[in-house]
Amino acid sequence: MVTGASSGLGADFARELALRGARTVLVARRENAQLALDIVTLAHTTKLFARDMAERGWGRILQVASIAAFQATPTYAVYGAAKSFVLHFSEAVNFELRASGVSVPAISPGITATEFLAVSGQKPTLYQRLMMMKSPDVARIGINALLARRASVVPGIGNRLTAWSIRWIPRTIATRVAYLTMRER
């Protein structure tokens, strides 16, 4: 099952899986759902599908987090907090299921060429233009991580460097830097 399959990363995940011969069910919605979709629905559907997969002894669930999950991100506060939940939830469930044949990796992309900015009414900042990855490339990296049973993957060297470097910067400074790189001028 691929959620968010009508556009962006969801559509590219579906295409990548189809190229690899997977049978998929595509799901999408266009309504705002606050945190319910990003957190509650994700947790419930993961639990539902993972339980059946564990009983079969095999399964894969790829969760989409974001590099915003690694730090507080002013102007994207709710989005970043929700993606932090996705990242930590996925890594924990992946560990819990490690002996069951089921893996639940998280992909944490940075800015990706999708409808995200246009739908949110934003123009890409300089940082976003420099760091932007193509959606099909991110989807391919995610599916490769899924099949390899990796716990977590951050696509793109710039994104990996950003996620890694946040660990060494005081949180107040990291928050200010996030604001300066993501704010609209």
- Round to whole Å and give the CA distance between 116 and 100: 35
State if pTM tops 0.75.
yes
Number of Cα atoms under 13 Å in the Cβ half of residue 113: 9
Out of 5-14, 61-70, 138-147, least confident range? 5-14
Q: Which CATH homologous superfamily contains domain 2-182?
A: NAD(P)-binding Rossmann-like Domain (3.40.50.720)
Question: Between residues 102 and 180, which one has the greater pLDDT?
Answer: 102
Q: Is the pLDDT of residue 66 over 70?
A: yes
Q: Which of 97-101, 161-165, 166-170, 180-184 has the lowest mean pLDDT?
A: 180-184
Give the pair of three-digit tokens for residue 125: 């900042």
pLDDT of 184 reads 67
Alpha-carbon distance of 14 to 184, in angstroms, equals 32
- Per-domain boundaries in the chain: 2-182
157 pLDDT tier (thresholds 50, 70, 90): very high
Beta strands 106-107; 152-153: pairing state:
parallel
